[in-house]
Amino acid sequence: MNILLTGGAGYIGSHTTVLLMQAGLHVCVLDNFCNSEQIVLERIARITGKPPSFVEADVCNTSVVADALKRYEVQAVIHFAGLKAVGGSVTQPINYYANNVQGTISLLQAMQSSGVKTLVFSSSATVYGNPQYLPIDESHPTSATNPYGRTKLHIEEMLTDVSRSDPAWRIACLRYFNPVGAHESGLIGENPRGVPNNLMPLVAQVASGLRPYVQVFGNDYSTSDGTGVRDYIHVMDLAEGHLAALQYLQKNVGWHGFNLGTGKGRSVLEMIRAFESASGQAVPFKVVPRRVGDVAACYAKANKACELLGWSAKRDLASMCESTWNFRINAKEQ
């Protein structure tokens, strides 16, 4: 089977590329490197023994995407390409709508003109807005609290309309909770530019001495230890979720939304402690006021993916922390 991965050089895309190649699928990565680097493709080749096919392009360039679909005889697309910083989306909403929403429209036009009607889309738990109940199942009402979240919601709604318009489409929206961790080789992982926005890359940088301490955003939430609770999921489990979704779409038409999470909530302090024992390093922290827009707790009900996709997260918290640390050490040495 031939698969196009837009944004396949990025954090989640690169891990999924490795997994799909090792499962015997032919992968073509399409990326413009706006948030990744060419070296990732070499690292993928070191892990898998050969590089994926590659097209350097912006997903907004419909004719180039259509050419790639035809040239590589693509049967299904996984659409990772998108901008993902919540803060950036508040200050630059036009960029976010242009890249995420317009990018998806462009991809859909290319797919339609090429007769490719199978799509797995990188959605996010952000489409649930502020949780109204926990754990969050797929029937939880959707809403958005920032422009990034609104792009994901708009795209999901567009994809629902596309599926309604033509029953031949097969679409899975995978709503990721909090992806963390890295490939066991230590060659690929999350490598954010500048100061990381997310907890785990920051914890890893503090453990390695790059930054003095983690700012813990609030310890007065109504959670077990007062700090924020999230559903952290190993990126390789997430990658496996994409393979399971592709297999599901072979047998099922229509639009389908799935949570990809572990179903387990972990607090910020739990994550820091787990990282300390995985790395053997101290992770100093200071409690500071809550971050605007944060919620106390957010975790998935992951039963639907288990029942329909036959997928569930298998890797534990220690593995998430150890692989993050392994990648951090490797990245420093190379």
Active site residues: 148
Instruction: State the residue for tokens 């399409």.
Output: 30
- Could you tell me how far CA 52 lies from the centroid of its own chain? 20
Q: Which of 20, 81, 204, 206 binds ligand NAD (CB under 6 A)?
A: 81
List of residues contacting ligand UD1 (CB under 6 A): 86, 124, 126, 149, 178, 197-199, 202, 214-217, 228, 230, 268, 291, 293-294
Query: What secondary structure letter does DSSP report for 126?
Result: G
At 171 the three-state DSSP class reads strand
**124 is a site residue for ligand NAD (CB under 6 A):** yes
Stretch that binds ligand NAD, among 80-88, 211-219, 224-232, 309-317 (CB under 6 A): 80-88
Burial string for 268-283 (b: 16+ CB within 10 Å, else e) reads: bbbbbebbbebbebeb
**34 is a site residue for ligand NAD (CB under 6 A):** yes
**82 is a site residue for ligand NAD (CB under 6 A):** yes
Minimum distance from residue 207 beta carbon to ligand UD1 (Å): 13
By DSSP bridging, strand 297-298 and strand 76-79 are: unpaired
Residue closest to 23 by CA, chosen among 48, 53, 50 = 48
Minimum distance from residue 208 beta carbon to ligand UD1 (Å): 15
Q: Which of 52, 103, 149, 265 binds ligand NAD (CB under 6 A)?
A: 103
Minimum distance from residue 15 beta carbon to ligand UD1 (Å): 15
Of 99 and 163, the one with the shorter C-beta distance to ligand NAD is 99
At 285 the three-state DSSP class reads strand
**54 is a site residue for ligand NAD (CB under 6 A):** no
Q: How far apart are CA 47 and CA 32, in angstroms?
A: 22
Burial of residue 141 (number of CB atoms within 10 Å: 0-12, 13-18, 19+): exposed
| Token pair of 164 as six digits | 């309604």
**62 is a site residue for ligand NAD (CB under 6 A):** no
Residues of this chain that bind ligand NAD (CB under 6 A): 6-7, 9-13, 31-36, 58-60, 80-82, 84, 99, 103, 122, 124, 176, 179
